[in-house]
Chains A and B, each alone.
Chain A
């Protein structure tokens, strides 16, 4: 029997390329979960709400984005086998929120603790952020830092290497019950994004 094209081998030759999440990810039963933004439940000790808007190069809202967050718990621990400190936690650490028509996102979480680096530095409390959207062919990554951690922020091995005039794009503002930070994909005050 004739065999079809079997050029693809079992040996991978490189990473599968990234593609846009497109505008239609928000299908029923799709990748947005009802509890996606709730890293912790309402009323959990130390719960804060971090929120903001995702904006495009004209300053207009991006209503078809997904904001995903990943962070340590309040003691600086991760529920993960590659955390070689042997610490343990049951903290989910992951949040996922689709933006609304105004481009707004939010997560309910706790403020993370500080983290050691292999070369002996200490990372300030931070939340890693992935933004996915129509028009983004690859995810973009940024971090949220906290305004009430001036000393830790100044010593942070990542934040301290960011140009001083762009550092502010990574530092949230404090408000009652939490923090606010807009993510500007482009334009004046473009958010600093990282290559991971």
Chain B
């Protein structure tokens, strides 16, 4: 648990003179990697060196962009139909729920993904990996969660690819995900990995998450039940955003019991 600062405690426990009542969100630094992770070279000149200052959860922090359905096209969730032909590789379904850490679904929130193609190559001018591009695969998708927090993408299993972080470094296969949740404090960028990947042990980005249980939360689960026979394998991946702290009113009720 992140230590609370004084201003934060006062805001959460004293009656509000302004009549303004705001939710607050749990701080959960322990789940996340440290910014200055020695083994990941790109952190060396980019991770801030000074300590972060705790920001109280005021109006700007508890509200957030509610980006809507007008940002999502009809086939944006299906990365296999965005071009004339079908992309090469292993077709997969990736689905799950977006929840908060209280187990409540996060409805109607934008989920964005981007990934390499089945050969481990991004359609990006900066990607120099000498693996083929696929004219039928751009590697980007988006969808909204439904009212119960469910989301679903159809895509191609991404390939592993080399990078130059250390001697013979390879990224495990992964899909990048971007989530907004319902508050500025819930914003999350993460990566979904595949079960049993032999490259985990040497990957400094995966291993930047020090808690083994937290690391497991980035690994999807093969799910035979949602596999479509003779068409696609299926992986389940639930994404958990930070939850709300109990409001002072709820605390009061508990005290009365």
B29 / chain A contacts, CB cutoff of 8 Å:
195
Query: In the complex, are the beta carbons of B56 and A158 less than 8 A apart?
Result: yes
Which residues of chain B in 123-137 are interfacial with respect to chain A, using CB atoms and an 8 Å cutoff?
123-124, 126-127
- B6 CB to closest chain A CB (Å) equals 10
How far, in angstroms, from A83 to B63 measured CA to CA in the complex?
7
Closest B residue, CB atoms, query A70: B184
Q: Mark A15-27, 1 if CB is under 8 A from B, else 0.
A: 1111111111111
Query: In the complex, are the beta carbons of B46 and A17 less than 8 A apart?
Result: no
Among A15, A29, A80, A123, the one with the most B-chain Cβ atoms within 10 Å of its Cβ is: A15
Question: Size of chain B's interface in residues, with CB distance under 8 A?
Answer: 93
Question: With A14-B31, A15-B31, A136-B35 known to touch, is A5 a contact of B46 (CB < 8 Å)?
Answer: no
Query: In the complex, are the beta carbons of A190 and B20 less than 8 A apart?
Result: no
B202 within 8 Å of A (CB atoms): no
Closest A residue, CB atoms, query B58: A117
Q: Mark B21-53, 1 if CB is under 8 A from A, else 0.
A: 111000111011111010010111111111011
Closest A residue, CB atoms, query B46: A135
A134 / chain B contacts, CB cutoff of 8 Å:
42, 46
- A169 CB to closest chain B CB (Å) equals 10
Query: In the complex, are the beta carbons of A132 and B189 less than 8 A apart?
Result: yes
Which residues of chain A in 1-37 are interfacial with respect to chain B, using CB atoms and an 8 Å cutoff?
3-8, 10-31, 33
A56 within 8 Å of B (CB atoms): yes
Q: Mark B3-22, 1 if CB is under 8 A from A, else 0.
A: 00001001100101110111
How far, in angstroms, from A83 to B127 measured CA to CA in the complex?
43
Query: In the complex, are the beta carbons of B55 and A196 less than 8 A apart?
Result: yes
A158 / chain B contacts, CB cutoff of 8 Å:
55-56, 58
How far, in angstroms, from A15 to B243 measured CA to CA in the complex?
9
How far, in angstroms, from A140 to B52 measured CA to CA in the complex?
9
Find A14's partner among B28, B63, B123 (CB 8 Å cutoff).
B28
Query: In the complex, are the beta carbons of A136 and B53 less than 8 A apart?
Result: no
Query: In the complex, are the beta carbons of B140 and A8 less than 8 A apart?
Result: no
A–B Cβ pairs within 8 angstroms, 25 of them: A3-B224, A13-B217, A15-B31, A16-B241, A19-B189, A19-B190, A28-B123, A29-B138, A30-B112, A33-B71, A62-B46, A78-B60, A85-B20, A116-B59, A120-B16, A133-B46, A136-B43, A137-B37, A138-B35, A157-B58, A161-B53, A162-B53, A166-B50, A186-B45, A190-B50
